[in-house]
Each structure stands twice: as structure tokens, then as C-alpha cells.
Amino acid sequence: MMYQNISELLYEELDEEEDKDTQQLIDDLKDVRGRGCFIKEEFVKMGMWKSSRAKNWYLSNSPEDVVNTSKKVFSTKYEKRRIELLTTLQGVRIPTASAILMLTNPKDYGVIDIRVWEVLYQYEEVKVNPTGTNFSFDNWYNYLMKLRYFAEKHQVKARDIERTLFKHDYKIHKGNLY
């Protein structure tokens, strides 16, 4: 179904309910930001939630590197620095970094994903990278600002906007993603 714009789509399809397994993981991680870091076991769970293909890479990170990197991530106020730090961990590129940020703070973050990007592109909310692959920091940051804008406008979490757009694409998408 095609809408006039993203706001109309969100008005009609807004999904504020997290799936059970994802909600459990978010609940399990609820004190990560307060303690200022995550441990390797939590890191591996977050990575596996996004993509199990990189499991061996996630496991190759030392517990010390995971804790030290995550301490820096949670102590900076700069989004670019957060992404730079997270992507120093083995197996982490921008999509997994965005998943880590979302799982530890669904209010302010969503996961960058080809499905959501394609919906935003279709509605001309983003104007570059029509394939929604090989995301740059600028792609992610623009995406994040769009999620936050619509989250504030609709008084929901950034994750709710991302999940709604993901489900919308899943429902309407024909053919392969790649």
C-alpha cells in the first residue's frame, strides 16, 4: 500500500509493541548504560541478534577490549565517535553498531536496515544510496535523525518508527532484498 508520506504510513501502521525475544534482550540489557559498559557475553548476544554470520568475529574480541570500547561508547556524547568506537570491534560494521545502540537505548536509536532505508528512500526522506547497502556514517546519521524526528512527532521511541517501517517493507516488498 502506498501512502502520501511517511507520517500517513506511521499514522496507519504504527507498531509500538516489541516482539517477545527482542524485548527480553532489551530488558536483559537495561542496566548497561547505567553501569557504563557491556561485557563480552552481552556484546555477543547483541551481535548475534543482528547477524549470526559474524559470530566467530564477535567471539574473537577480548573481554577487555569489549569492556574498554563500550566504556568509551557510553562516555561520549558524539554519535560519530560512538560508531567509530563500536566498529573497532571485530565483526561490527554500522548495522551491528546501530543494533547495539538500539538494544541499549530503544528510545533514541533504531537499527539501520535495508528494508527501512528502502521505505525512507521510496518516500524521498533519504535521497542517496537507493540500494540501502554499505552504509556510511553520514547515511546512518541522516537515518537516525529521521527516526528521531518521526519518533518525536508521533511521541514514540525511535525503535518504534524503525520497526514499523521494517514491517511495512516486509509486507509490501516483492523479490529479493539484494
pTM, rounded to two decimals: 0.95
Give the model's pLDDT for residue 176.
58
What's the average model confidence in pLDDT over 162-178? 82
Question: In the predicted model, is pLDDT for residue 173 greater than 80?
Answer: no
Whether residue 87 contacts residue 112, with contact meaning beta carbons closer than 8 Å, is answered with: no
Phi-psi region of 148 (alpha: psi -120 to 50; beta: other; left: phi over 0): alpha
User: pLDDT category, 178, cuts 50, 70, 90?
Assistant: very low
Burial class (CB within 10 angstroms; exposed 0-12, middle 13-18, buried 19+) of 52: exposed
pLDDT tens, residue by residue, 32-57: 999 999 999 999 999 999 999 999 99
Query: How many angstroms separate the CA atoms of 154 and 100, rounded?
Result: 24
Average pLDDT over residues 88-92: 98
Q: How far apart (Å, rounded) are the C-alpha atoms in residues 154 and 176?
A: 31
Total residue length of the chain: 178
The radius of gyration of the chain from alpha carbons, rounded to an integer in Å, stands at: 16
One-character DSSP codes across 16-58: ----HHHHHHHHHTTTHHHHT---HHHHHHHHHHH-GGGHHHH
What is the CA angle 131-14-50, rounded to 5? 50
Reported as a single tens digit per residue, the pLDDT across 96-134 is 999 999 999 999 999 999 999 999 999 999 999 988 889
